[in-house]
A and B are shown apart, each in its own frame.
Chain A
Amino acid sequence: MIEISNLTVQFGGVKPINDLTVTLNSRISGLIGPNGAGKTTLLNVFSGFVTPVRGSVAVNGQMLTGVAPHLRANLGLRRTFQTDQIADDLTLFENVLAVADHAGLSSHDAEQDVKAAIEYVGLSKRLNRRGSDLSTEERHLAEIAKALIGRPILVMLDEPGAGMSESESQHLERVIRGIPDYCGAQVFLIDHDVELIAACCDETMVLDFGKLLALGPTHEVLQDAEVQKAYLGGFEELGVAA
Chain B
Amino acid sequence: MYKKDKPDVVPGTPIQRVIPIWVTLGVIGLLGPLLFSSYWLNTMTSVACLSLAASTVALLYGQFGMVSLAQFALSGVGGWFCLRLIHGWGMPFEAALVLGGLIAALFGLAVGLPAMRMRGLYLALLTLMVAAAFQVVVNVIGFPDGGTGWAGKVINGQRALIERPWLATTDASYFRYTLVWLAAGMGWIEWLRCTKSGRSWALIRKSEAAAIAGGVSVLRYKAWAFAVGGFLAGLAGGLIAGLNGQLDNTGFPVSQSILLFALVVVGGAYNWVGSLFAGLLIRALPALLNDHGVDGNLSNVFFGFALLVSLIQGRKGLAGQLADFYKYVRTSRIVEGSVTWGAIAIVLGLIFEALGWGSFAGTFFIALIAILFRMVIPGVCWLLLGFFGKRFQDGVEDGEAWLSLRLARGMQAMGWVPDHRLLKRTLNWLFIGCFVGWIAWGVFDVPFEIALAIIWLAMALKVGFEILAYPYVLPLRKRLDERFPKPLASYR
Contact = CB atoms under 8 A, between A and B. Distances in A.
Interface of A: 47-49, 69-74, 77-79, 81, 85-91, 93-95, 97-99, 101-103, 125-130, 133-135, 137-138, 146, 167-168, 171
Interface string B197-211: 001101101110111
Interface of B: 1-3, 6-11, 196, 199-200, 202-203, 205-207, 209-218, 270, 492
A106 to B, nearest CB: 13
A102 B206 contact: no
A168 B199 contact: no
Nearest to A46: B213
A128 B196 CA distance: 17
B210 A85 contact: yes
Contacts of A102: 200, 214-216
Contact of B215 (A74, A91, A127): A74
Given A81-B207, A102-B216, A133 B200 contact: no
A87 B198 CA distance: 11
Given A128-B11, A133-B6, 10 more contacts: A70-B217, A73-B214, A78-B213, A79-B213, A90-B11, A90-B199, A94-B199, A95-B199, A98-B200, A102-B214
A137 to B, nearest CB: 7
B11 A94 contact: yes
Contact of B6 (A97, A99, A127, A129): A129
Contacts of A86: 206
A103 B216 CA distance: 9
B199 A91 contact: no
B215 A87 contact: no
Given A69-B212, A70-B217, A99-B215, A89 B200 contact: no
A91 B212 contact: no
Contacts of A88: 206
Which residue of B203, B210, B211, B216 has the most chain A CB atoms within 10 A of its CB atom? B210
Contacts of B196: 101
Given A102-B214, A102-B215, A103-B215, A91 B9 contact: yes
Given A73-B215, A81-B210, A102-B215, A125 B2 contact: yes
Given A81-B209, A87-B202, A87-B206, A70 B215 contact: yes
Contacts of A94: 11, 199, 202
A146 B11 CA distance: 18
Contact of B216 (A47, A70, A171): A70
Q: Identify which of B7, B211, B213 gathers the most chain A CB atoms within 10 Å of its CB.
A: B213
Contacts of B209: 47, 49, 81, 85
A202 B215 CA distance: 29
Contacts of B9: 91, 128-130
Contact of A133 (B1, B3, B216, B218): B3
B215 A168 contact: no
Contacts of A101: 196, 199-200
Contacts of A85: 203, 206-207, 209-210
B213 A47 contact: yes
A130 B205 CA distance: 16
A126 B210 contact: no
13 contacts: A48-B212, A81-B210, A81-B213, A88-B206, A94-B11, A95-B202, A101-B196, A102-B214, A102-B215, A128-B8, A128-B11, A133-B6, A137-B1
Contact of B214 (A49, A99, A135): A99
Contacts of B214: 73, 98-99, 102, 146
B14 to A, nearest CB: 12
A178 B228 CA distance: 43
B2 A135 contact: yes
Contacts of B6: 129-130, 133
A70 B218 contact: yes
Nearest to B206: A87
A98 B217 contact: no
A228 B368 CA distance: 75
B10 A128 contact: yes
Contacts of A87: 202-203, 205-206
Contacts of A91: 9-11
A135 B210 contact: no
Contacts of B10: 91, 128
Given A90-B199, A91-B9, A126 B213 contact: no
B195 to A, nearest CB: 9
A97 to B, nearest CB: 6
A60 to B, nearest CB: 18
Contacts of B199: 90, 94-95, 97-98, 101
Contacts of A70: 211-212, 215-218
Contacts of B1: 135, 137, 167-168, 171
A88 B199 CA distance: 12
B216 to A, nearest CB: 6
A129 B8 contact: yes
A98 B202 contact: yes
| Nearest 8 Cβ contacts at the A-B interface | A73-B215, A85-B210, A98-B199, A102-B215, A133-B6, A87-B202, A128-B8, A99-B214
A73 B202 contact: no
B338 to A, nearest CB: 28
A89 B492 contact: yes
Contacts of B2: 125-126, 135, 138
B200 A73 contact: no
Given A125-B2, A130-B9, A90 B215 contact: no
A102 B218 CA distance: 12
Contacts of A167: 1
